Structure 1
Amino acid sequence: MGHFKINSKDVMFILKEQLQYGRLCKLDRYSDQNEKVLDLLVKEAIEFAKGVLDPLNEVGETEGLKFENNQVKCPPGFKEAFKKYGEDGWTAAARDLEHGGQGFPHMMRIVINDFMYGACQSFNMAPSLTHGAAHLIESFGTKALIDTYVPKMFDGTWAGTMCLTEPNAGSNLAALETTAYPEGDHYKIKGTKIFISWGEHDLADNIVHLVLARIDGEPEGVRGISLFVVPKMRVNADGSVGEPNDVVCTGIEEKLGLHASPTAALSFGAKDGCIGYLCGEKNKGLAHMFQMMNAARINTGVSGMAMASTAYLNALAYVKDRIQGRDIAGRQKGEVAIIHHPDVRRMLLWMKANVDGMRSMIYTGAFWSDLALELPEGEERGHYENLTDFMTPIIKAYCSDLGFRVCEIAMQCLGGYGYCRDYPIEQYLRDAKIMSLYEGTNGIQSTDLMGRKMTIRDGACVKAFQKEIEGFCEAHREHPELGDRIRALYGVVQRLLEVSEDMKQRQKSDPLQWASYTYPALLAYGEVIMCWRLLDMAVIAAETLKKKKSDFYQGKVFQATYYVDTTLPHTLATLESCLRPGREVMDIPDGAF
């Protein structure tokens, strides 16, 4: 029996009552759909995650990967699941019908990934990367490239990757050395890439790599980088798989977690036989790749939240059944289930609030991204484009870090058993750690947020965020039950914006001091957004409670009041620390560490 757990009632509350996601069906692209169709998609996605992917999580952990003769063999069931995933339409659920997509709203890809990552993080990275690579070709490739690769990637016949990192060019892509040499209608590719998730495997007959490389003779730095389609196997004129394309896996990493997800080192063109095809404009490769990178960053936040969600629910199930200790208030005789112990309840409520808040943050960001993509050109669309840009580094960094912490607290609820492989939480904890590291470390996300996102388009991104959160506070500041917390949130938001403005000035006058405190500032933004989304849910729940008693809706109110009261004081303290004049971070001698 699998371990994946999901509370579909929590999911549907956010989608239907908080976001009213059926409104997307009023957009032209989705005019043939309705909310009932979207509800059915959610239900079927949960069933697929439980029935097909959940069993793979334990199999992947116990069987692991086998690497022999430059090839990777995946655990039993993975190949069949990858094919079924594509055939059933999950890979391309949000893509247009023209190339094999299902045409659902873009946000549904995020909702689907919530369940799929929660059921088996290691596996779901493969179709998620395939989707991103295929969509990149679909967006920037020639018709020939699109026709050759995209349909087979969307239907699960072929897989895809993104190849950025090199041994001497990790997060600094300007230093990459992989080179493309023009040769007729294609290029010869030479170079090495490392840390390539699902860079080699036996799930599909072909792996289509999206590779960043510098065309020979083009400028140094990021402005000279181009994007190439480089298949593992060449493709014949009739679309069939041909001979190998001189792309060789030289090894896979031994990792803390994700033991069923191969992280490969790839050699391109060691025998001078690797052919690649330019995708998009020459020297615009990094700009093109950002489409896939930003989606991957959001999905990193989704992964952290999804594993936190199932970890919390596994802990909840355990504490309801585990009998140990007496009720300290003497309310019950004999030993009781540990859910009755106050400290266990504290951990449960903290996890519940954080999982619900993260899911709302992510789904709200996904809803906004749909409006950014599908509204007609104009001021309203620009508003949602700015919001999406602003939320991306926060979702990536905050939810990946917090997801790991929730897994840690879930383990604490089980005591010593949580540390043992008898229960799945220790695997969730190990698997979740990578989320803060890849797709740009969380420190990089914080400098992006407090640097570029504060200044681009004359501060339009932070102004869009300010408009949304202040609008909520103004609308509900006199709420009879929650008004005091909403007014408190408003006050912290004002302080957050003041600190952000101060840091923006400091970035110019003292960039080293500024960079020392960008990460705490990002955490402050994350906490404020969490309070906002939880209070928004509480306002909705409080209205329902006027009509009927409900433990479910009362829980929405309690999680919000608890979280706001215990979090905002911490947020204020964090903001004050961001303004401290001390320079110990930069001035301490290297030899003193």
Structure 2
Amino acid sequence: MTYLANSQDAEFVLRHVVQFDALCERAGLDEVNTDLAASILEEAGKFATEVLAPLNRFGDQNPPTLGEKGVQETAGFKEIYQSFAEAGWLSLGAAEEFGGQALPNVIGTAVNEIWQAANMSYALCPMLSQGAMESIGHHASHELQSIYLPRLASGGWTGTMNLTEPDAGSDLAAVKTKAVPQGDHYLISGQKIFITWGDHQMTENIVHLVLARLPDAPAGVKGISLFIVPKYVVNADGSLGARNAAHCLSLEHKMGIHASPTCVMLFDNAVGYLIGEANKGLPYMFTMMNHARQAVGLQGLSISERAYQLARQYAKDRLQGTRRDGSRIPIIEHADVRRMLMIMKSGIEAMRALAFVAAAEVDRARYESDSDKAAFHAARVELYTPIVKGWLTELSQELTYLGVQIHGGMGYIEETGAAQHYRDARILTIYEGTTGIQAADLVGRKTLADQGQGLGLLLAEMAELDASAYPNFAPALAAGQAAREFILSHAASDPQLAGSASVNLMMLMGYLCGGWLLIKGAQAAQNQLAQGEGDPEYLKAKVITAQFYHDHLLLRALSHLAAIKAGSAAIMALAEDQF
């Protein structure tokens, strides 16, 4: 089955839930509006369907290889990358000064959903380049920006992120990679693992962003610096010099995303250039990581959409059972199959709404001229990010599982494609910070650190919505409020509470945010129907889908509250040798 971008729902969410036109008007972006975004999404959908999607299964079956020249990407990927770059897709959000189109972040998010759904293994490459541009654009010197950003924005070069080491996974304080000053640059030595698209032959250069320590750096995370380490040394005029001492040692053999090369990288006195100030690398890298965390949450949405489209078509085509007149029944008429499809459809629409709203907060923080309002939106980005990354990727595990289940036995057969989506989704709860890391961030830095102020403001905003037509929303909102109060009042007396409650808080807030935004969308759809506007069949489905979510998914928030209130006693009760 050919993948088709769901541009209709994306445009609806931008227009009616994100309020994109109002965002652009306040930002002074006179030529940018939802109509422009819809045109961009339409073109992206065509490119994804015609160019990216056809190589998705081929890439799964034909992963990259490592040879004398380094990593050789899957056949055909270089050609689609060149077409992608020539079409200007990498430059959407880049600054005009460096050859970009300077479009709002949320447009890039909507377009990236399409890329990730069409071919996630491929789309990881431009996703990391966009993250590298974010970090370089915010923190590097203008001299480095002028060399690297135009080439990344054009797609002539690609970017990577090098954090993890064999003995330093999520604990970045243990990073051992060294950086020794050498004239106007540094010599970088160390090994990094799990480096996505760490090497390939698609572009003439690769820009590695590498965390390393200077000889006199303080211990812990306060002693980490961030460096640009190119595959080929870059001359002052931007031309390429000698091959740098940055090489892929081996490729990992993974459960999914087979066509995305995951490299073990060796830096052996490789030439590198300091980004910003020494010993401030971690916050600089977090600019890229936060971009990547929202992007990975978006991948959860994307792969779920791809799995849903496949399952929906199979349910329409597969005949199972016989009517009295002897005709066969497509399984989409069976109630339990409908249940599974509706869980997928409503979950996806909730995920899309939250991903886009969170992405738009990045724009509101960037464009807001009032410093207090800008700070509010920046804090909201920080609050949303772990929920987007954690909840969307966890829910994608269920939705891609249902995609397999709807196929029945054929879902377990690789040829149908359902199994690939399930396998590809599995990494999403792990890379760019596991679910536990996201949840710890939400309960620690985003709740306890400010005594729940930011979370309280979000819950108060939800309470302003007239949700009287959705009676399950009030108890779900009350669960969110009660969870916040319980954690704030018990964390000091129970040192294990934050850790034991964190994932449940994250999942509770995900379901609650999704329900809140689906109500907004359903109300907008009802208004359009009343005014005789829009596609009536789509709008009616939008209302029904929101109702299903509130009947079947929203009240999961209450079970998460019950688990939070259970505390840490049973979690911590067993001695280690009892496991």
Distance 1:79 1:581 in 2: 52
Task: Indicate how the Cα distance of structure 1 residues 167 and 117 shifts in structure 2: closer, same or farther if over 3 A, else same.
Answer: same
Partner of 1:418: 411
Mapped partners of 1:135, 1:94: distance in 2 = 9
Correspondence for 1:395 among 367, 388, 399: 388
User: Residue 491 of structure 2 corresponds to which residue in structure 1?
Assistant: 507
Q: Is 1:497 matched with 2:477?
A: no
Aligned equivalent of 2:273: 277
Cα distance, 1:7 vs. partner?
Answer: 2.7
Q: Is the 8 A contact 1:450 1:500 kept in 2?
A: no
- Residues 75-86 of structure 1 aligned to structure 2 (within 5 Å): 75-86=74-85
- Distance across 2 between alignment mates of 1:579 and 1:135: 40
Q: Please say if residues 234 and 245 of structure 1, whose CA atoms lie closer than 8 Å, have aligned partners that are also in contact.
A: yes
Q: Which residue number in structure 2 is paired with residue 382 of structure 1?
A: 375
Measure, in 2, the Cα distance between the counterparts of 1:581 and 1:279. 43
What is the distance in 2 between the residues matched to 1:356 and 1:500?
Answer: 26
1:324 and 2:320 correspond: yes
Q: Trace 1:61-72 onto structure 2 (pairs within 5 A).
A: 61-69=60-68, 71-72=70-71
1:471 aligns with 2:457: no
Contact 1:257–1:431 (Cα < 8 Å) also in 2: yes
Note the alpha carbon deviations across 1:180-201, whole angstroms, 9 max, x for none.
1112111111111100101111
Go from structure 1 to structure 2 and tell me whether the alpha carbon gap of 1:460 and 1:101 turns closer, same or farther (over 3 Å shift): farther
Superposed CA offset, 1:508-554 (max 9, x none): 22222331121112111111111111211221222334355933222
Greater mean deviation of Cα atoms: 236-245 or 445-454: 236-245
Give the Å deviation of 1:35: 3.2
Is the Cα contact below 8 Å between 2:500 and 2:567 reproduced in 1? no
Cα distance in structure 1, aligned partners of 2:444 and 2:236: 48
Moved more, 9-18 or 148-157: 9-18
CA contact (8 A) 1:389 1:461 kept: no
The alpha carbon displacement at 1:388 in A equals 1.1
* 2:118 matched residue in structure 1: 119
Contact 1:531 1:563 in 2 (8 A): yes
Q: CA shift at 1:440, angstroms?
A: 0.5
Match of 2:247, SS?
strand
Per the TM alignment, residue 136 of structure 1 is displaced from its structure 2 partner at its CA by 1.6
Native 8 Å contact 1:513 1:586 kept in 2: no
1:584 is displaced (CA, Å) by 2.3
Contact 2:501 2:567 in 1 (8 A): no
Q: Which moved more, 1:80-89 or 1:316-325?
A: 80-89
Q: Distance in 2 between matches of 1:539 and 1:145?
A: 48
Unaligned runs of 5+ in 2: none
Q: Which residue of 2 aligns with 1:239?
A: 238
What SS does the aligned partner of 2:225 have? strand
The answer to whether the aligner puts 1:87 opposite 2:86 as a matched pair is yes
Contact between 2:467 and 2:519, CA under 8 Å: does it hold in 1? no
Deviations along 1:212-267, one digit per CA (max 9) or x if unpaired, are 11111110001111110111111123322211111121101000011110110111
2:361 to 368, 373, 393: 368
- Offset at residue 458 of structure 1 (A): 5.2
Matched, 1:590 2:567: no
Q: Rate the CA distance shift 1:459–1:517 in 2: closer, same or farther, 3 A.
A: closer
Distance 1:568 1:143, change over 3 A: closer
Asked if 1 retains the 8 angstrom alpha-carbon contact of 2:504 and 2:560, the reply is: yes
Worse overlay, 385-394 or 532-541: 532-541
Q: How many Å separate the matches in 2 of 1:32 and 1:540?
A: 25
Determine the structure 1 residue equivalent to 2:173.
174
Contact 1:199–1:266 (CA under 8 A) maintained in structure 2: yes
CA contact (8 A) 2:320 2:328 kept: yes
Any gaps of 5 or more consecutive residues in structure 1?
A: none
Contact map agreement 1:70 1:248 (CA 8 A) in 2: no
Which residue identity is paired with 1:529? C
TM-score normalised by the chain length of structure 2: 0.96
Distance in structure 2 (CA, Å) of the matches to 1:97 and 1:59: 36
* Counterpart pick for 1:544 among 528, 539, 553: 528
Asked whether the equivalents of residues 321 and 337 of structure 1 are also in contact (C-alpha less than 8 Å), the reply is yes
> What's the counterpart of residue 550 of structure 2?
564
CA contact (8 A) 2:383 2:446 kept: yes
Q: Give, as a single letter, the amino acid of the residue that structure 2 aligns with 1:439.
A: E
Q: Deviations over 1:327-358 (max 9, x none)?
A: 5xx6x752211111111111111111001110
Root-mean-square deviation over aligned CA pairs: 1.8
Q: Which amino acid aligns with 2:550?
A: V
Q: 1:542 to 1:34 in 2, by over 3 A?
A: closer
TM-score by length of 1: 0.94
SS at match of 2:520: helix
Provide the C-alpha distance between the structure 1 equivalents of 2:134 and 2:437, rounded to a whole number of angstroms.
25
- Amino acid aligned to 1:443: G
The question of whether the paired residues in 1 share the 8 Å contact of 2:452 and 2:488 is answered with no
What displacement does 1:582 show? Answer: 5.8
Residue 90 of structure 2 aligns to a residue whose secondary structure is: coil
On the 8 A contact 2:160/2:195 being kept in 1, the answer is: yes
Separation (CA, whole Å) in 2 of partners of 1:561 and 1:260: 39
Q: CA distance change for structure 1 residues 577 and 237 in 2, over 3 Å: closer, same or farther?
A: closer
**Mapped contact 1:22–1:38 kept (Cα < 8 A):** no
Q: State how far apart, in whole Å, the 1-side matches of 2:4 and 2:156 are.
A: 29
In the alignment, the residues of structure 1 paired with residue 537 and residue 442 of structure 2 have an alpha-carbon distance, to the nearest angstrom, of 38
Indicate the SS of the match to 2:249: strand
Q: Does 1:345 align with 2:338?
A: yes
Structure 2 counterpart SS, 1:264:
strand
1:29 to partner: Cα distance: 5.3
Letter in 2 for 1:522: M
Which AA in structure 2 matches 1:537?
A: G
Moved over 4 A (4+): none
SS at match of 1:26: helix
Residue in 2 aligned with 1:141?
140
> How far apart are 1:70 and its partner, in Å?
6.6
Partner of 1:526: 510
* 1:105 maps to amino acid: P
- Asked whether the 8 Å contact 1:83–1:155 carries over to 2, the reply is no
2: CA distance, partners of 1:34 / 1:108? 10
Alpha-carbon shift at residue 380 of structure 1 (Å): 2.5
CA distance in 2, matches of 1:403, 1:246: 39
Alignment check: 8 A CA contact 1:53 1:81 kept: yes
Deviation at 1:100, TM superposition (A): 1.1
Matched, 1:301 2:297: yes
Partner Cα separation in structure 1 for residue 273 and residue 568 of structure 2: 52
Q: Assess if the C-alpha contact under 8 Å between 1:298 and 1:395 holds in 2.
A: yes
Aligned to 2:102: 103
Separation in 2, partners of 1:534, 1:146 = 40
Once residues 578 and 434 of structure 1 are traced to their aligned partners in structure 2, the CA distance between those partners, rounded to angstroms, is 26
Structure 2: how far apart are the matches of 1:3 and 1:310? 10
Q: Secondary structure at the match of 2:160?
A: strand
Structure 1: distance between partners of 2:454 and 2:202? 41
1:33 positional shift: 2.6
Count of residues in correspondence between the two structures: 577
Task: Mark the CA change 1:416 to 1:286 in structure 2 (over 3 Å): closer, same or farther.
Answer: same
Q: After the TM superposition, which of the residue ranges 62-71 and 523-532 deviates more from structure 2?
A: 62-71
